[in-house]
Structure 1
Amino acid sequence: MGKKYILFFVLLSFKVAFAQQETIFLGLVIDAKTQNPLENIVVSIQNSAITQLTNKSGKFELHSVIKGEQLLLLHSQGYRDLLLKVQSNFGQQVNLGILQLEDRFSDETPAALISLLESDLSDDNSSSEMTSGLLQSSKDAFMQASAFNWGQARFRVRGLDSENGTMMLNGMVMNKIYDGRPQWSNWGGLNNVLRNQEFSVGAAASNYTFGGILGTQQISTRASMYRKGTQLTFSGSNTTYNLRAIGTYISGMNGSGWAFAISAGKRWAGEGYFEGTSFDAESFFISVEKKLNKRQSLNFTGFYTPSIRAKNSANTNEVIQLTNEKYNSYWGFQNDEKRNARIKKVEEPLLMLNHYFKLNEKINLNSSVMYQFGKVGNSTIDYQSANSPDPTYYRKLPSYYSSLYAKDKGEFSGEFTPDYQNAEKSKLLFLEKPQIDWDAMYKANQSPILNSNGVITGYEAAQSHYVLYEDRTDDNTLAANSNLNIQLSENSAFDGGITFRNLKSHQFQYLTDLLGGQYFEDIDAFYSGNEAQSDLQNPNRQVKEGDIYGYNYNFLATTIDAFTQFKFSYNKVDFYLGQSYSVSNYQRDGLYQNGIYPITSFGKSQKVTFENFGFKGGFTYKISGKQWLFFNGMHLTRAPSLRNTFSNSRLNNSVVNGIENENISSAEGNYVFHSPKLKMRFTGYYTLIKNTTKTSFFYAEGIFDRGASYNSTDAFVSQTLTNLDKKNIGLELSFEYQISLTLKTTLSAAYGNYTYNSNPNVSITNDANVANGDTQATFDFGESYLKNYKQSGMPQQAYSLGLEYRDPKYWWLASNINYMTESYIDVSPIARTARFYKNSISGLVFPEATEEHALTLLKQEKFDPIVLLNISGGKSWRFSRKYIGLFASINNVLDLTYKTGGFEQARNANFRALNQDVSSGTPSFGPKYFYGYGRTYFVNLTISL
């Protein structure tokens, strides 16, 4: 018995000693409107592993082993985050009293991620969706403006693509290995279950990963973290979709330790904002958590979001002047219904199992396994021995007769003889049939049936000259990771993790519709003999619907990423240091033996391995309780994307010559001021990205000399840029002032200068050379003089002034005026090479290619400034425990027309050809442009039960 008492007193003394080395925070969390207690609210010490959940009574007891001034964060889906400054003194209990959380349902604007997803029209997922929030909790005025006001003009935070940010789901990286970017449509329609988000700013520390220079966006789908209840959402819009309906049920954690979250939705449009752009998408989501014991939980997440979206075309000024800014050349009438030839289909279900393990009050270990599979298809028309079905094909437009017609009379002679008569005829024919002629294609794929008298009695299917096919990507990704968070002492913490990902990506051409024909020949009609064969092991195939043809190969990739991070927190200073290591292995496995490259197309390529390191750090100086200074810096190397590693993956195993790891450096400095009435952030940043690679394909005229084996100066080529550097410098301002209890004003500004910082090397590959017996396929075109040209695709300066009124009776109204400028066209690199100025036959510089003339002809086009007025408002009602919220917005109230981007066509591949085309006044191969939405609306009704 004495031993028991001794043991009891020893344990008691340990408990007392330990209690003296911690601070206990107590509190009660309630709903600000209903005054009801809130369960499962996450209470945590900011930038640490110390967390606790409120119980059924809304109470929490948080034990902190960190001494000094700290930030206490209260977070839950559907509520505004509450961030409190608290003083931690060991051995004390601090009662924080009643803490009221305001719901976010009155702001029924979509989450930033989903907002950009549904308005993003780019096919390469290049827009910058990564938004971040101050102190990893709430989004400041600048980030709100970036997502909701500037996003419609394709504004990118700090001018960076989404490959420079890290997108995470339950701690698992979701950026694709293929191009480094998230597939945004994987999350389409899941708004209600993706609101549990955490953000890091730029290179700031993240608890989950090393991250990228744009920041980290982490979404949690843990079932117990959702707000209990049922929610129905109904929306209407005239942008990508017309109607949307979502239903969500959250069970909360029951007495048996189970929690469920289920959501399903539908979005559709017969026609979106642009002509012929239909949309059809479903979304299904489930999250199930089983609490194993007080320290461990298992959570399963699965979702499936199939979508079908019709695309819209980029158009030249000539086409826009003949039609309008909404014109879309990708569709035509079939049986009195609009049918679009360019359809993007995405079906990529995801399954994930997470294990949450709280070893003790200081250590958390979270691990996950993910499997994602499915397909992405982009359809278009293929044709053989027939004319182009594109209604805007250059030979069908007036400019062909008023400009390029003269070119056919002589090899870039400079002569110019407009044929206005045929130009007018061409204009009338185009206006008569401005869309795809589906009936004509079906007719071309059939042959007439003649009776004994030679009279046509009908038609029967014959060899197809036109078919519809998809460029398909069928991915299978298996990934596993583990993340460890340790509170080392009262002033220090450790984060670390490792992630393994394995990808098998099947890339192929898939025939979907013979368009009334019987079969299609699997050959390349531009070549003859063996060179025309897609697969020498199966020559002269006649393919039908559901067959693979053209190209067929697998990408195989394995990546391992690891990081460690140490964080230190003191009364006046916080700082952190992070490190990362990664290794990437890429390989191509050709499934067809291509006739042009019989040796290098079939079987596995060499394995390409990239090894990379990264370092980052930052510190915060707390001037006072209202003011902070913080600085972050990062330097890392990054493997090129799988997409840019192989120069012509559809035909062979060739790796880009001279490809290297990308080299990235970034630094930022911030001043922050927070008071009850004024919130302000001022940021300056610098980013340098070196050694990037980019591959593109196009048909070029006048690019080669006439060799013995290939008697033409024209060719369909692939262009690879290497050693391309980008420099981004800028300033950000976020200003929010509470004028009165009901009136608030915001001011946001982004001032950037985003340029190319090198003259990249240009390599041109001409497959026709090999097909015609030449041993050389790739040609070095030397440097492209791109240094100091502006990066394209986004406004480099943006300003927003907003005013918001919130009435105590739960209705609100807000307006924003936005000004965006310094947006530039994407220039053609080949037109900035020394070779561009030379006659491809004689090798001599064109006499008209003077320096003065070149500066005028090759000046980068700057788009007109954009002014957008946006208005939004909402009203909410409470009936007992039920809630109804109404939100409505009108964007671009003044219905202004503006360009969001564009690119120079590279078809005119020498100075004389381009000069002649431009000098005509109606160039056939002028730049193509994308246009933004005019006046649009969004209405959302939410019912919470």
Structure 2
Amino acid sequence: MEKKYLLIFILLSFTFAFAQQETTFTGIVIDAKTQNPIENIVVSIQNSSITQLTNTNGKFELHSSIQGEQLLLLHSQGYKDLLLKINSNPEQTVNLGILQLEDNFSDDVPATLITLLDSDLSDDNSSSEMTSGLLQSSKDAFMQASAFNWGQARFRVRGLDSENGTMMLNGMIMNKIYDGRPQWSNWGGLNDVLRNQEFSVGAAASNFTFGGILGTQQISTRASTYRKGARLIFSGSNTTYNWRANATYASGMNSKGWAYVVSAGKRMGNEGYFDGTSFDAESFFMSIEKKLSNKHSLNFTGFYTPNSRGKNSANTNEVTELINEKYNSYWGFQDGEKRNARVKKVEEPLLMLNHYFKINEKANLNSSVMYQFGKVGNSTIDYQNANSPDPTYYRKLPSYYTSLYGKDIGEFSGEFTPDYENAELNKKLFLEDPQINWDAMYQANQQPTLNADGVITGYQPAQSHYVLYEDRTDDKTFSANSNLNIQITENSFFDGGITFRNLKSHQFQYLLDLLGGEYFEDIDAFYNGDQAQSDLQHPNRQVKKGDIYGYNYNLQATIIDAFTQFKFNYNKFDFYLGQTYSTSSYQREGLYQNGIYPTTSLGKSEKVHFENFGFKGGFTYKISGKQWLFFNGMHLTRAPSLRNTFANSRLNNSVVDGIENENINSAEANYIFRSPKLKIRTTAYYTLIKNTTKTSFFYAEGIFDRGASYNNTDAFVSQTLTHLDKKNIGAELSFEYQISSTLKSTLSVAYGNYTYNSNPNVSITNDANAAKGDTQTTFDFGESYLKNYKQSGMPQQAYSVGLEYRDPKYWWLGANINYLAESYIDVSSIARTARFYKNPISGLVFPEATEERARALLKQEKFDPVSLLNISGGKSWRILGKYVGLFTSINNVLDKTYKTGGFEQARNANFRALNQDVSSGTPSFGPKYYYGYGRTYFVNLTISL
């Protein structure tokens, strides 16, 4: 018994002695303009777990046992961060007095620019979305440059697609199961209500999920966290849309425990920066919270953001030189109005219910259920027994008569004579009418009516040769999750969660417009007999507007994943360990019995299962209150996306042969220095992604021998790459120095080397063989020698230098000079195989295929670097007790023209075809390019009521 009391006495003495070493910091936080106290401001000591919230009177009391100089951070949505230098005085109370926070008009208004980067509207959702989408709340100079200065050139943080990051809404994963990427347009126009964010960079710890190697973005829409009041926003631009209006109101929590937020907006543009790119979108948002007790709260979130956008074409150098970089071949005039044939429409409303359970002061359990449904459509023109409606179809361009493409001249000995006369005629005809001819298509879909004398008296609808259809995806997604956060001890924390997701994706071809005709035949005109039938159970159908035709199937997926994470925080160092496990199940269900694959197209496929795991860890060493080092590492396996699991899901149930889980490793080291005047972050990182699978479709000429494709060396094929590895190595620098109280300088650097790190295997599937009854439809083309080629689609080096002046009278002006370099074209995989050098008829290597000539033909094109000057500024006023903020920016002030991306066309599928086409000097199938915006502007007016 005496020993027991002695132990208690020792522990009490130790606790008392430890407590005496604490310093207590107190203060009052107020609004700089209204001078009113502010509640729920997060007050924390940097690089520690010591955190407190201000009470209703704006007061806080923070207890710290950390010795020496530290940094105190005050943070809240709607206000600029305040960073103060403090010194510990053990056993004393330090009164910091009244601390004023400034409204962040100038900081959060630029976040509305995110919708102007076109990333949330990207066709493949892969360009710079994770940059622009997740960085709106970041204060890091590098992240700001990535989003607002480099994003216009399709910059990607660390060269990674958005599938490598995890996007979350109220703890629920929002990455699409189909391709692993967020569908950014699902919340387009909702910037004003999606500002409450937490972001972990790279492999750093997240409280909500295991995450990806790009990072985790968590957005909270809990109604009680919104700042009470109303906001009106009006914007004008010449980029994606022309104007925008938005209204938001937040009630705050009332005495009965209710809080709600509503928001509605409209964006519209008859034409964006590129010709014929119309835009129309609405956004509706609601969040309602009911506080059931001090421990329980329910929150409902729902939003609906229907939008449509006219797409912009990639063009060859020949087409660009004939017209200009803004040329878009996807539109034409109809009844005096511009009509774009390729329009993307997204209508996917989302409903979510969250339960917040505060178990005790140290434990929280948050659970969610979500249901999302709706449709995504991408329209284009279908045609049968008619010429291509594409104004840039190769036979309509001058190069058709001057290129050696398709000319049977053996080894290209120079005997071909260009037909300049017809080339000039093609040029004249193209320049006279360079757009889609809608009237001609309507006329082709009608037949004349004759009187008794054989005179045409009018026209009536007939079988359509041209129709407008859309590739439709109707998804139904149900998700449920639960996330537990516990403070185990003063220094240790636990995070864990489990998520269930189920997807039923109906994918089909949907007829939008008969273009003046009466009906359209549901057949594939390239085949005959049963092989031409889309559905053998309903042959020779005549389809009309609103009908499904062509292909029709369901994809089903179920994913369950769980994670655990342990964090340990101490005075001089922190570390964490995280683990994850997931299981994925995919299946295709064909709704049509396709004539080419009568036995493998209808009904359910086998279920494809994947099991995956991952672990990550990190270590932070606190050199002082101002500077620290941290290291993070991650290893995980990841199931291939649903999109890449089936070789040709539109036609059959075949699973990609040899498909495997992806294997991912990533590591980073960081040094951070942060003081009230100077902020520096330097980062070095390494990422290796192995066993990626990629499927694509194209028409190739000279790809098969005559035996393989029945006396035809050409075919429309699907290409599957397997065992593709990617290696990303680089460094980042973020530098920010407050020269004076009004002038700040910034420097941001991204230096990367992103390459392919393997020679993937190439498989080519030829549906024509199946149509002929051949048992072999997939051909192994062997390795594609892609190792050490550069990854495409983004600048691998980026630099930004900026100056910003902020006047005490609430106006500011900033300028950035940006230099972006090392951007490369997307190369053709099939052109890097050994089979590419062989004559498809004889099977022998082309005699002209020398090593020197091959090296010249297959050298990866590097785009010219570009320098961009961006200027922005703003001013805020208090008028009749209301706050008005004006923000404006001009990007690419010098109106530079530059390529943001491009790809080699794969139509020339053997060495001779490519060599002859390129050697002519006017290739018919040269690379196609995308261009960035020229000089653009954005003006935004915000009124807070």
Residue of structure 1 in register with 2:262 after alignment: 262
Residues 462/17 of structure 1: CA separation in 2 closer, same or farther (3 Å cut): farther
Task: Report if the CA contact (8 A) 1:133-1:201 is conserved.
Answer: no
Contact 1:355 1:366 survives alignment (8 Å): yes
Measured in 1, the distance between the counterparts of 2:442 and 2:134 equals 58
Partner of 2:829: 829
Q: Deviations over 1:560-617 (max 9, x none)?
A: 1111111111111111111111111111011111111111111111111110111101
The structural deviation recorded for 1:202 is 0.7
The alpha-carbon deviation at position 155 of structure 1 amounts to 0.4
Identify the residue that residue 912 of structure 2 maps to in structure 1: 912
From the superposition, tell whether residues 473 and 194 of structure 1 become closer, same or farther in structure 2 (CA, over 3 Å).
same
Which residue matches 1:443? 443
Aligned to 2:788: 788
Change (3 A) 1:767 1:48: farther
Over 3 Å counting, the alpha-carbon distance change for 1:58 and 1:779 in structure 2 is: same
Amino acid across the alignment from 2:102 = E
1:509 counterpart = 2:516:
no
Q: Is residue 924 of structure 1 aligned with residue 914 of structure 2?
A: no
The alignment partner of 1:843 has SS state of coil
Q: Give the corresponding residue for 1:490.
A: 490
CA pair 496-435 structure 1, distance change in 2 beyond 3 A: same
TM-fit CA distance, 1:329: 0.1
Shift of 1:139: 2.4
Q: CA deviation at 1:83?
A: 5.5
Deviation at 1:740, TM superposition (A): 1.1
What TM-score comes out, normalization by structure 1 length? 0.95
After superposition, the C-alpha distances for 1:453-506 in whole angstroms (9 at most, x for unaligned) are 100000001100000000000000000111111111111111111111000010
Tell me how far apart the structure 2 counterparts of residues 567 and 113 of structure 1 sit (CA, whole Å): 36
- The letter of the residue matching 1:878 is R
User: Deviation at 1:665?
Assistant: 0.4
What corresponds to 1:943 in structure 2?
Answer: 943
Correspondence for 1:417: 417
Q: CA deviation at 1:92?
A: 8.6
Return closer, same or farther for 1:704/1:49 CA change in 2, 3 Å cut-off. Answer: same
Q: Distance in 2 between matches of 1:415 and 1:156?
A: 47
Single out whichever of 210-219 and 91-100 deviates more from structure 2: 91-100
The alpha-carbon deviation at position 100 of structure 1 amounts to 2.5
The equivalences for 1:364-763 within 5 A come to: 364-404=364-404, 407=407, 416-707=416-707, 710-763=710-763
Kept in 1, the 8 Å contact 2:491–2:569? The answer is yes
TM-score by length of 2: 0.95
Contact 1:119 1:152 survives alignment (8 Å): no
1:101 to partner: Cα distance: 2.0
Q: C-alpha separation between the residues in 2 aligned to 1:711 and 1:89?
A: 89
Can you list the C-alpha shifts for 1:251-283, whole angstroms capped at 9, x where unaligned?
Answer: 111111111111100000010000000000000
Distance 2:287 2:305 in 1: 15
CA contact (8 A) 1:66 1:490 kept: no
Residue 813 (structure 1) aligns with: 813
Mapped partners of 1:71, 1:440: distance in 2 = 70
Name the amino acid aligned to 2:223: A
The offset of 1:28, in angstroms, is: 2.6
* Range 469-478 or range 410-419, more displaced: 410-419
When residues 68 and 258 of structure 1 are mapped into structure 2, their CA distance, relative to the original with a 3 A threshold, is farther
Matches within 5 A, 1:198-347: 198-347=198-347
Q: Which amino acid aligns with 1:490?
A: E
Q: Look up the match of 1:166.
A: 166
Q: CA RMSD in A?
A: 2.7
Q: Residues of 1 paired with 2:107 and 2:125: CA distance?
A: 27
Give 1:777's aligned residue: 777
Cα gap change, 1:132 to 1:28, in 2 (>3 Å): farther
Q: CA deviation at 1:68?
A: 11
Of residues 189-198 and 382-391 in structure 1, the stretch that sits farther from structure 2 once superposed is: 189-198
1: CA distance, partners of 2:359 / 2:650? 50
Decide whether aligned partners of structure 1 residues 510 and 66 sit closer, same or farther in structure 2, where only a CA change above 3 A counts: farther
| Counterpart code for 2:503 | L
Structure 1 residues 490 and 922: CA distance shift in structure 2, 3 A: same
Question: Would the aligned equivalents of 1:818 and 1:868 in 2 still touch at CA under 8 Å?
Answer: yes
Partner SS, residue 531 of structure 1: helix
Residues 112 and 191 in structure 2, CA contact (< 8 A), matched pair in contact too: no
Match of 1:762, SS state, is strand
**Structure 1: segments with no counterpart, 5+ residues:** 1-12
- Separation in structure 2 between the aligned mates of residue 833 and residue 238 of structure 1, nearest angstrom: 44
Offset, 1:676: 2.0
CA deviation digits over 1:413-465, x for unaligned, max 9?
Answer: 98533111111111111111100000000000001000011000000011000
- With over 3 angstroms needed to count, the CA separation of the structure-2 counterparts of 1:539 and 1:740, relative to structure 1, is same
Give the Cα–Cα distance (whole angstroms) in 1 for the partners of residues 175 and 69 of structure 2: 36
Counterpart of 1:871 in structure 2 is: 871
**How far apart are 1:65 and its partner, in Å?**
11
Relative to 1, partners in 2 of residues 1:130 and 1:26: Cα closer, same or farther, differing over 3 Å? farther
CA distance in 1, matches of 2:652, 2:91: 69
Instruction: Decide whether aligned partners of structure 1 residues 370 and 48 sit closer, same or farther in structure 2, where only a CA change above 3 A counts.
Output: farther
Query: Does structure 2 retain, via aligned residues, the 8 Å contact 1:29–1:100?
Result: yes
1:283-319: per-residue Cα shift (whole Å, max 9, x none)? 0001111111112211111100000100010000000
Q: Which amino acid aligns with 1:689?
A: I
Please tell me whether the aligned partners of residues 134 and 217 of structure 2 are also in contact (alpha carbons under 8 angstroms).
no
Of the structure 1 ranges 83-92 and 29-38, higher mean CA displacement relative to structure 2 is found in 83-92
Tell me if structure 2 keeps the 8 A contact 1:308–1:345: yes
Is the 1:113–1:129 Cα contact (8 Å) retained in structure 2?
Answer: no
Distance 1:22 1:660 in 2: 55
Equivalent residue, structure 2, for 1:8: none
Q: Distance between the aligned counterparts of 2:93 and 2:253, measured in 1? A: 28
1:154 aligns to what?
154
Rounded Cα–Cα distance in structure 1 between residues aligned with 2:420 and 2:405 = 11
Please state how far the C-alpha of 1:86 moved relative to its aligned partner. Answer: 7.6
Shift of 1:129: 2.8
* Contact kept in structure 2, 1:49 and 1:485, CA below 8 Å: no
What letter corresponds to residue 372 of structure 1 in structure 2?
Q
| Matched residue type, 1:339 | R
How many pairs are equivalent? 933
Shift of residue 36, structure 1, vs aligned partner: 1.2
| Equivalent in the alignment of 1:6 | none
Which residue does 2:186 correspond to in 1?
186
Give the conservation status (yes or no) of the 8 Å contact 2:295–2:359: yes
Q: Residues 66 and 489 of structure 1 are in contact (CA less than 8 Å); yes or no, is this contact kept in structure 2? A: no
CA contact (8 A) 2:135 2:144 kept: no
- Distance in 1 (alpha carbons) for counterparts of 2:860 and 2:734: 31
Report the AA paired with residue 729 of structure 2. I
- Does structure 2 retain, via aligned residues, the 8 Å contact 1:267–1:279? yes
Structure 1 residues 359-410: Cα deviation after superposition (integer angstroms, max 9, x where no partner): 1111011111111110000000000000000000001111111114661577
3-state SS in 1 of match to 2:110: coil
Aligned to 2:10: none
| 3-state SS, counterpart of residue 686 of structure 2 | strand
Partner of 1:110, secondary structure, is: helix
For 2:496 and 2:774, the matched residues in 1 are separated by 54
Counterparts of 1:444 and 1:413, CA distance in 2: 42
Question: How many angstroms apart in 1 are the aligned matches of 2:592 and 2:70?
Answer: 61
Whether the aligned pair in 1 keeps the contact of 2:241 and 2:267 (CA below 8 Å) is: yes
Summarize the Cα distance change of 1:890–1:140 in structure 2 as closer, same or farther, 3 Å threshold. same
Query: In structure 1, what is the Cα distance between the partners aligned to 2:652 and 2:535?
Result: 12
Contact 2:276/2:339 (<8 A) preserved: yes
Aligned AA (1:671)? Y
Confirm or deny: 8 A CA contact 2:44 2:72 kept in the other structure. yes
Secondary structure of the corresponding residue to residue 107 of structure 2: coil
State the Cα deviation string for residues 824-858 of structure 1 (Å, max 9, x = none). 00000000000000000000100110111100010
Q: Name the SS for the 1:574 alignment partner.
A: strand
Query: Cα–Cα, structure 1 residues 784 and 689, in superposed 2: closer, same or farther, change >3 Å?
Result: same
The CA deviation string for residues 88-141 of structure 1, in whole angstroms up to 9 with x for no partner, is: 999997765433222211235432893465456631001233349999984211
Structural mapping, 1:351-366, within 5 Å = 351-366=351-366
Deviation at 1:357, TM superposition (A): 1.1
- Write the distance in 1 (CA, Å) between the matches of 2:582 and 2:625: 39
Match in the other structure for 1:5? none
Structure 2 distance, partners of 1:70, 1:479, is: 43
